[in-house]
């Protein structure tokens, strides 16, 4: 599904504030900010919408060359206001320009940002509930805004989404009561990021000591188009993962049924990468002989994309 829900970063006008005037810089005006999503979808909640109360860290330089990160809070429509009007970004008298960027951390934190620095992020190993949306990380690339203008920020997902459709067949129907779920196995759960040259992207380094299994969010049966026909899947899942390589000849998905040894999907094509901001949709079929086949993988942005075929063993 596509969601086109751009969101606004804005601050209440100075004249509307009720705080003591001594708390707010004199002859300063609030920096106005607007933001939109680079991808068609917005949040990583199951329905793609803001639930209200999410915190976003907005960083901007100030008139003396330093900078600060302040927390803004989202409404259900995606609007953001300063959590504390006395801790918001202002234009100082005579200030010519500011550099601005912002982060949204899906776990509810609004961590301090080190300008041109680095940080760390972990996805949740159990994404069956709110662990899915807690795994999301959004970054609005650093941009320069001139005095008197709005700062227009574009947010991009810094994680990849993996969607797994299990195709319904005689085996899944016969053993549906024995099905226990799917997991993405032995994949990095955490890593560090740094802002790379030109400040256009984040560079990721995975923690090789922090690998584990990810239990995806269960979407239930989904209507999809396969071979030109609309079908309903046996069940479908999605998970958020750190960007990284999918290794050749490595088992990456495990499917569990009571009374059966685990069924595995082994990536047997050339090395590929799950890239940030992209969605990788796998159509998987399982049969009683233990064969796991993938009909296609659709790769695209957070909305729809092109497709290419992979084989498995």
pTM score, whole prediction: 0.81
Q: DSSP letter for 221, please.
A: S
Looking at 79-150, which runs of residues are DSSP E strands? 80-82, 90-91, 97-105, 118-122, 137-146
Can you tell me the distance from the alpha carbon of 124 to that of 215, in angstroms, rounded to the nearest whole number?
9
Can you tell me the distance from the alpha carbon of 155 to that of 276, in angstroms, rounded to the nearest whole number?
12
pLDDT reported for residue 262: 93
Tokens of 112: 């301090």
**Higher per-residue confidence, 48 vs 81:** 81
Does residue 88 surpass a pLDDT of 60?
yes
Can you tell me the distance from the alpha carbon of 29 to that of 148, in angstroms, rounded to the nearest whole number?
9
* 139-174 per-position pLDDT tens digit: 888 888 898 888 777 778 889 999 999 999 999 999
* 96-144 per-position pLDDT tens digit: 999 888 888 888 887 666 666 778 899 999 999 889 989 999 888 888 8
Distances from the Cα of 191 to the Cαs of 55, 123, 197, 270, in angstroms?
A: 22, 9, 19, 24
pLDDT reported for residue 128: 93
Does residue 75 surpass a pLDDT of 90?
no
Distances from the Cα of 184 to the Cαs of 33, 45, 238, 282, 292, in angstroms?
A: 38, 19, 10, 12, 15
Pick the range with the lowest mean pLDDT from 18-22, 49-53, 282-286. 18-22
Nearest to 162 by CA among 253, 38, 290: 253
Q: Which positions ≥6 away from 159 have C-beta within 8 Å?
A: 44, 123, 135, 136, 137, 240, 241, 242, 243, 276
* Average pLDDT value for residue range 175-186: 95
Q: At residue 281, what are phi and psi to the nearest 5 degrees?
A: -110, 120
Tokens of 304: 């729809």
Does residue 45 surpass a pLDDT of 70?
no
Cα dihedral across residues 78, 240, 255, 257: positive or negative? negative
* 223-258 per-position pLDDT tens digit: 998 888 999 999 999 999 998 888 767 889 999 999
Average pLDDT over all residues of the chain? 78
The CA-CA-CA angle for residues 5, 244, 59, to 5°, reads: 50
């Amino acid at each position: 599904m596509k969601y086109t829900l751009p969101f606004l970063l804005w601050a209440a006008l100075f004249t509307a504030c009720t705080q003591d005037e001594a708390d707010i810089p004199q002859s300063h005006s609030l920096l106005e900010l607007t933001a939109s999503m680079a991808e068609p979808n917005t949040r990583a909640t199951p329905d793609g919408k803001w639930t209200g109360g999410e915190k976003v860290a907005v960083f901007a330089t100030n008139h003396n060359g330093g900078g600060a990160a302040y927390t803004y809070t989202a409404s259900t429509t995606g609007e953001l206001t300063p959590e504390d009007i006395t801790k918001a970004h202002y234009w100082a008298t005579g200030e010519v320009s500011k550099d601005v960027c912002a982060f949204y951390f899906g776990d509810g934190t609004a961590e301090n940002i080190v300008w041109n620095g680095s940080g760390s992020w972990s996805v949740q190993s159990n994404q069956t509930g709110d662990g899915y949306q807690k795994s999301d990380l959004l970054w609005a690339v650093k941009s320069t805004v001139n005095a008197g203008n709005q700062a227009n920020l574009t947010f991009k997902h810094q994680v990849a989404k993996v969607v797994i459709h299990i195709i319904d067949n005689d085996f899944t129907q016969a053993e549906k009561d024995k099905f226990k779920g799917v997991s993405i196995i032995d994949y990095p759960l955490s890593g560090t990021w740094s802002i790379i040259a030109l400040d256009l992207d984040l560079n990721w380094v995975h923690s090789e000591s922090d690998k584990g299994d990810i239990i995806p969010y269960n979407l239930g049966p989904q209507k999809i188009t396969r071979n030109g026909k609309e079908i309903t899947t046996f069940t479908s899942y999605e998970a958020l993962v750190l960007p990284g390589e999918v290794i050749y000849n490595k088992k990456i998905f495990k499917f569990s049924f009571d009374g059966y040894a685990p069924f595995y999907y082994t990536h047997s094509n050339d090395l590929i990468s799950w890239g940030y901001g992209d969605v990788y949709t796998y159509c998987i079929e399982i049969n009683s002989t233990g064969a796991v086949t993938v009909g296609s993988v659709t790769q695209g942005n957070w909305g729809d994309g092109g497709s290419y075929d992979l084989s498995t063993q």
